[in-house]
Amino acid sequence: MYQFPETNKFRAREVLELDFDIREQDRARELYVELDEARGDAYREELLYLLSIDEDELKAGSDRYVKVIFSGHRGCGKSLELYRIHQYLNNPDRYVSLFIDMERELEIAHFQPEDFFVTIIVWLIDLVKEQELEVDLKPLNTLAEDWLNEDHEVRKEWKEEQGEAASVEAKAGLGFWDWLSFNVGIKSFFTGTSKISRTLRQQIRKEPLKLQAQLNSLIEQVRKEVVQKGKGRDLLLVFDGTEKIRYEIYKNLFVQDSFLIRELKVNLICAVPINAFYDIQTGVTSDAYERVVLPMFKITDDNAHLFKDIISKRVDLEAFFAAEALDIIVHYSGGCPRQLLKIASTALRKALGKKVEKQHAEAAIHLLGQEMFERLEKAHVEIIQQQAFEHADEDIKELLFSLAVLKYNGKRKTNPLLNEFIPADER
């Protein structure tokens, strides 16, 4: 459908939108822009070291399973970089890596902590079937079915569902997790209002250690099989797409009831938003997690061309962006790819699909800055005016999450979009 760089003014707008995912494009590799020239690759090298990668191989494994919290600003490129790391790690000389996009797999608005573990089970079962691994699912199925059989109405609903699935699959006595994985899917399962989904969540909440024990048994079997069959030297779970999960869910999973994740016998990387990252970092169980941050970087004369490349790979610059306008857009991006695309797409809209000139870029910057400023509470404005955002107060976490304050390799600065609305002499 798309021809890159786009010359059609309507498709040009589409490819600059925030929800345009280059990973879904046939030419994804050509659209990707390597930003390590500006921000460095220390974060990646650190992550690979934590996962025991050396000379492109997974070295001697360990019984100490690493749980990595991967964070950074909204729109800093976490998803792209994490996916790229996953692609590298998913290799017989390294790991069998499962990349789980939570936003695609689940209805985020209905997400509960228990769903995290159900998702792992379903993905592992899919892996078992796909790779023809020899794994015993009976204990896990028995546990789920015992839970469902405790209530007459739930048991009745389950038998009806099981019967329908069995008739379709020609398999009488279809196991619960097979049914969920192949016949229903976790997204529709947890989005619906069935007694089965409510009961499963309640029972996991009531008896989490039972599920944890069976899940660990499944993990150990899968790990053993992938090694024996030469699929990889270990198993890795990579979670992304979690930005829209409610804040309290993170606190429950990674702080309050963190033992459930900490005790999983598998290496795991989980992307979290920057405000949740600080809660995890300051929590009593923070030592249980390794923390890696994807840094932002300041735009300079030496690296501005990288951000221009993000635009030029998607749309024809000659057709859509005057040089001066593009320079302004890159400067006001603040080094955030998300903000760059937001300004560029808004400016193109202001220009009605014609060439973006200086006045269109400035109009877009004013509009987006005004929207950001109007979302700030009085306390937020005072913090920015005083430049007092070096601590972990809730208001400061909110400023970081909303991009009103940007963090550059440890240093925090006001988003340039706010310059017009919070004058420099007050900051």
Beta-strand runs (E) in 164-310: 235-240, 267-273, 290-293
Query: What was the pLDDT predicted at 308?
Result: 96
pLDDT at 195 over 70: yes
Q: Which amino acid is at 7?
A: T
What DSSP designation does 179 have? Answer: I
pLDDT at 14 over 50: yes
The per-residue pLDDT for range 141-154, each reduced to its tens digit, is: 888 888 888 877 88
Residue 150, judged by CB atoms within 10 A of its CB (0-12, 13-18, 19+), counts as exposed
Cβ distance 389 to 383 under 8 Å?
Answer: yes
pLDDT at 193 over 80: no
Q: Which amino acid is at 14?
A: E
What DSSP designation does 23 have? Answer: G
Would you state the structure tokens that stand for residue 61, as one six-digit string?
A: 């494994």
Under DSSP, is residue 94 helix (H, G, I), strand (E, B) or coil? coil
- How large is the average pLDDT for residues 6-11? 96
The whole-angstrom separation of Cα 334 and Cα 336 is: 5
Would you state the structure tokens that stand for residue 356, as one six-digit string?
A: 């973006």
Instruction: Pick 415 or 249 by higher pLDDT.
Output: 415
Q: What is the maximum span of the chain, computed from C-alpha positions, in angstroms?
A: 75
- 3-state DSSP helix/strand/coil percent for the chain, to nearest 5? 55, 10, 30
Query: What was the pLDDT predicted at 167?
Result: 46
Instruction: Pick 197 or 120 by higher pLDDT.
Output: 120
What DSSP designation does 183 have? Answer: I
Paired with 125 in beta bridges are none
How high does pLDDT run on average in the chain?
87
Query: What was the pLDDT predicted at 184?
Result: 65
Note the pTM of the prediction, 2 decimals: 0.86
pLDDT at 7 over 80: yes
Instruction: Pick 160 or 292 by higher pLDDT.
Output: 292
Reported as a pLDDT band with limits 50, 70 and 90, residue 285 is low
Instruction: Pick 247 or 197 by higher pLDDT.
Output: 197
pLDDT at 201 over 80: yes
Residue 195, judged by CB atoms within 10 A of its CB (0-12, 13-18, 19+), counts as middle
Task: Find the range with the poorest average confidence among 164-168, 321-325, 356-360.
Answer: 164-168
Reported as a pLDDT band with limits 50, 70 and 90, residue 162 is low
Task: Find the range with the poorest average confidence among 11-15, 47-51, 304-308, 407-411.
Answer: 407-411
pLDDT at 155 over 90: no
pLDDT at 90 over 90: yes
DSSP H or E stretch at residue 315: none
pLDDT at 110 over 60: yes
Q: 172 — phi, psi (to 5°)? A: -70, 145
pLDDT at 317 over 90: yes
Q: What is the CA radius of gyration of the chain?
A: 24
Task: Find the range with the poorest average confidence among 16-30, 235-249, 268-282, 350-364.
Answer: 268-282
Query: What was the pLDDT predicted at 192?
Result: 66
pLDDT at 41 over 50: yes
Considering the chain, what percentage of its residues have pLDDT values greater than 90? Answer: 48
- How large is the average pLDDT for residues 85-112? 90
Find the DSSP H helices in 173-303: 176-178, 186-191, 195-206, 208-228, 247-251, 259-262, 274-282
Task: Find the range with the poorest average confidence among 60-69, 215-224, 308-317, 377-386.
Answer: 60-69
Reported as a pLDDT band with limits 50, 70 and 90, residue 210 is very high
Reported as a pLDDT band with limits 50, 70 and 90, residue 181 is confident
Domain locations in the chain?
41-293, 375-426
